[in-house]
Amino acid sequence: MLGIPALEFRFRGKSRLLLDIYYCFIEQGSAALHPTQIAKHTGISFAEVARRLEATPELFVKLPTRAGDVTRYRITSSTSARSAQEVEALVQQNVQRESLLFYSLAAMVFLTLIIVVMTIAPNV
């Protein structure tokens, strides 16, 4: 969103995708999966899967590759040590934080506009 890092939400509006990808790793039982494998299993587009895996290092980590090897991802150690309910709670907590940030930024813009209008209105 606008290319501004503070306005690029990694969890807000994407919690279902992230949890689908997480459950794909759990169901497959594989230590490492390629984004194509995840896309086929979940039905999410390859590009979206690749973006979500890259954007959320709290949940997924990119494995080092050798020359000619394909890029694979796995669940982070801290995520794999948690239960499914704890991972869902973590994702929801991050969604709430990003929502709070979004609403606070919207409120700041709105209040700034009110201040501008209040400064200009008496002179008109």
For each of the chain's 124 residues, which pLDDT tens digit applies?
Answer: 555 655 678 899 999 999 999 999 999 887 799 999 999 999 999 999 999 999 999 999 998 877 777 889 999 999 999 999 999 999 999 999 999 999 999 999 999 999 999 999 887 7
The DSSP letter of residue 33 is B
Query: Could you tell me the end-to-end alpha-carbon distance of the chain, in angstroms, rounded to an integer?
Result: 36
Other CB atoms within 10 A of residue 76 CB: 15
CA distance 51 to 102: 21
Q: Give the pTM.
A: 0.83
Give the helix ranges, DSSP H, for 8-124. Answer: 15-28, 35-42, 46-55, 77-80, 84-120
**Going from the N-terminus, what domains does the chain have, and what CATH number goes with each?**
9-123 (1.10.10.10)
